[in-house]
Amino acid sequence: MPPGMKLDLFAHPFSSYCQKVLIALYENATPFTFRLLGPDDPVTFAEFAAIWPIMRMPLLIDGRRRVMESTVIIEHLGIHHPGPVRLIPADPAAALEARMLDRFFDNYVMTPMQKIVGDHLRPEDERDPRGVADAHDLLETAYRWLKAHLDGRTWATGRSFSIADCAAAPALLYADWVHPIADDLAPVRGYRARLLARPSFARAVDEARPYRPLFPPGAPDRD
């Protein structure tokens, strides 16, 4: 029995962590209300900030439950609003693998990508060249690990689309914009292309297209 009749997602379409959760919602056609966190709506933003002073989106409201952190939101959806696509595998060992890879994409692709993007928002004299250089190194190492990991796999864990792919899709979309995936990493480029072709992510990418001019380092003229 779902804990709440109505789901509200505080989010922005261009945000990578919000896209991660949007993929999960779209995979199972889960109905929800999109509470857009934009500069034109200070009331919605104030509501969000009052609930979650950490102010990192997305935030899910499910009845009286407030669920923060993209990974936990996807876990919550799987428990309380399951659909035909199981993003956390039923087998515990397979679930652990999916969770491990979700951590890989958040910590070693999304985080360095955000570091590079975020540096562009800083005033010139507050930039962090060393931190940005470390972020580029980490992305390169992560791409190369992923190339070997993907051998024989369609999706991050193998044949089934999972929470790890929800994390991977926006992480690799934007990471490739700030640190292009080299030509010799064909399996990683191919995986990114498969993610972009997945209808749930294609929809999220299309919904975010109008915001591309806002990408701090400048968005390339391609997906």
Ligand X SMILES: N[C@@H](CCC(=O)N[C@@H](CS)C(=O)NCC(=O)O)C(=O)O
Between 95 and 167, CB nearer to ligand X: 167
The 21-60 contact track toward ligand X, x by CB under 6 A, reads ----------------------------------xxx---
Residues in CB range of 8: below 8 A, 6 or more apart: 32, 33, 35, 60, 61
Q: Which alpha helices (H) appear in the chain, and where do they start and end?
A: 16-27, 42-51, 70-80, 92-105, 111-119, 129-149, 163-178, 186-197, 199-208
From candidates 10, 17, 26, 32, binder to ligand X by CB under 6 A: 17
Retrieve residue 159's tokens.
Answer: 């044949």
Note whether 16 binds ligand X by CB under 6 A.
yes
Task: Give least dist CB 17 to ligand X, A.
Answer: 4
Note whether 69 binds ligand X by CB under 6 A.
yes
Edge to edge, the sheet with strand 7-11 lists 33-36, 7-11, 59-62, 65-68
Q: Which stretch binds ligand X (CB under 6 A): 27-35, 65-73, 131-139, 184-192?
A: 65-73
Q: How far apart are CA 88 and CA 172, in angstroms?
A: 20
Q: Which stretch binds ligand X (CB under 6 A): 69-77, 78-86, 87-95, 178-186?
A: 69-77
From candidates 9, 10, 15, 191, binder to ligand X by CB under 6 A: 15
Stretch 114-173 residues interacting with ligand X (CB under 6 A): none
Backbone angles phi, psi at 183, to 5 degrees: -60, -30
Residue type, 213: P
Residues in CB range of 36: below 8 A, 6 or more apart: 11, 12, 13, 44
Q: How far apart are CA 210 and CA 221, in angstroms?
A: 13
How much is the CA Rg of the chain, to the nearest whole Å?
17
Residue type, 70: S
Task: Give least dist CB 18 to ligand X, A.
Answer: 6
From candidates 70, 157, 162, 200, binder to ligand X by CB under 6 A: 70
Task: Give least dist CB 220 to ligand X, A.
Answer: 19
Between 26 and 45, CB nearer to ligand X: 45
Task: Give least dist CB 168 to ligand X, A.
Answer: 13
Q: How far apart are CA 197 and CA 64, in angstroms?
A: 36
Please state the length of the chain. 223
Note whether 207 binds ligand X by CB under 6 A.
no
Between 9 and 185, CB nearer to ligand X: 9
Between 42 and 190, CB nearer to ligand X: 42
Positions in the binding site for ligand X (CB under 6 A): 15-17, 55-57, 69-71
